[in-house]
Structure 1
């Protein structure tokens, strides 16, 4: 059975077919609601149900609390209407004309940049080009149909290769393949671009990037886009990791800060090794940010990486004056973190 969804304040309407989520139907009808992971993990697609009833498929419990659920907040990527519904959600104009494609690509190069991170360079067919916004991601579709999501680390102007930063996860099907058996010229298939983690260029507010681990990948793409297009909003990049070897492209943001006076780079290590001879910031990266900025009222924050970091950053920064609508995130979840429907 199908149901009608009305989006406030835009007034856009679309029909959700049986088996679809609200987000799936919205994207099918080119109604561009904000989203990230599309599997109930990151919380980027939260909206409020103003009228009607929905049920949820699996989702990460941390992305939708019981209190939020009781107040009418819903994860639109896992919400299925049980009646006609009216929802409240922002819409995003910047991605409405970008086509999501299913494409093959060839592995051009695999570069091991640290003990647990590899940079994958993917080449598209000669007659194809992927239009995307810096910071978006793609889904690698494996032979068994399972998907693995990875942020694009290159900016759109530098699209000779699509660049992915792959962290080695013990037992992880795709990352084990990348680190141990993948060879150049291998053919992969992917869907993309996806997600709404990209720079809101209409704003003039100072930008704070908060990355942990390979959450640096989309930050890299966005900063390179900003440099290319001479976007000189005051920009601070915080990159958190365990030790210095985990800051796998340390020299790159250092060079950005050296070449561009409006860019500041702050690496933060939570567990530096004696061999690191580390004299920089230590502790949790979100704490370092909160120590440096007493009032977030005039900032935009883009946070990407481990979900515990993204959640802690959101809580801390909004408590210090950050507007909820100025926090943009992309949290890296594993499927084990999802809560089955009805639990």
Structure 2
């Protein structure tokens, strides 16, 4: 017997089967709810259970705290219903219009951009084209059925291969393969597009883009999309890394700033090498935003990268610098290790 789920803000309803994650049921029925990792690690799918009861399954403690649980909040990607529900959660327009597919692809190119960053290009079959929103990601389906997620780094309007930026995680099954044994013309399989991290074009607010490491990938897609669409809202990109060589497409970001007056670029290093001769900003990248813009009440923020950066930015921006909670959009690059503290 299926349960009815009502979304408080819109009144929209959908059904969820027993033992089916609430998020899975919503997406299956074309209901756009916010999500990222889909495995309880990032917290993007958080909502409040207004009425009814759920079972909250294992998740990262950083994605949903005990205090949030006592206030009735839940992670919809790993929560199941045990009766009819009413949920208060931000809905996402547009994602239901994009078809999610499972597709084979061929490795078109492997380009090492830093010691631990590989630019991977994927060629789709000749009769296929992937429609997606700039900022979304794909999930590789590995031979054992496990999945690995990577954001598309090129904008949807661009012809040619799909571009991904992959950081090497020591001991990581997939990234070890990418860096050590993968070859051009290898066949891979993925599902996508996925995720609700994309530019909200119905706003006229200035945009803060916040990236750490390869979190630059979906930010790059968003910037290229905005420039192609002639969106003239002011955009400032803050890109953080440890050392200068970790800003693996520094020249590209600097070129955007030269060519487009509405775009500004602020690189930030946390541990610059002596050889970098770095004269730019240092410290935590989200702190650089606060130093420049202590009042964020009239901004939209798009943050992508390491979970600690995303969590710190969301907490500090919304709690101490007046950013409205519903103007913070994020894609936290969680890994298998981030689920180690599942509760």
User: How high is the TM-score relative to the length of structure 2?
Assistant: 0.98
SS in 2 for 1:68: helix
Superposed CA deviations along residues 282-339 of structure 1, whole A, max 9, x for unmatched, are 0000111111101000000000000000011111111200000000000111223226
For the pair 1:305 / 2:297, whether they are aligned, the reply is no
Does the aligned pair in 2 maintain the 1:23–1:77 contact within 8 Å?
A: yes
Matches within 5 A, 1:100-119: 100-119=100-119
Matches within 5 A, 1:277-316: 277-316=277-316
Cα deviation, residue 3, structure 1:
1.7
Unaligned runs of 5+ in 2: none
Partners of 1:292 and 1:286 lie apart in 2 by 10
Aligned length: 342
Structure 1 runs (4+) deviating above 4 angstroms are none
Does the aligned pair in 2 maintain the 1:38–1:77 contact within 8 Å?
A: yes
The aligned counterpart of 1:320 is 321
Partners of 1:191 and 1:177 lie apart in 2 by 19
Partners of 1:337 and 1:84 lie apart in 2 by 32
For the pair 1:131 / 2:115, whether they are aligned, the reply is no
Partners of 2:13 and 2:94 lie apart in 1 by 19
Partners of 2:139 and 2:19 lie apart in 1 by 21
The aligned counterpart of 1:72 is 72
Does the aligned pair in 1 maintain the 2:61–2:341 contact within 8 Å?
A: no
SS in 2 for 1:113: strand
The aligned counterpart of 2:255 is 255
Unaligned runs of 5+ in 1: none
Matches within 5 A, 1:110-189: 110-189=110-189
Does the aligned pair in 2 maintain the 1:253–1:265 contact within 8 Å?
A: yes
Higher deviation after alignment, 132-141 or 152-161: 152-161
Does the aligned pair in 2 maintain the 1:48–1:73 contact within 8 Å?
A: yes
Does the aligned pair in 2 maintain the 1:58–1:340 contact within 8 Å?
A: no
Partners of 2:22 and 2:123 lie apart in 1 by 33
User: How high is the TM-score relative to the length of structure 1?
Assistant: 0.98
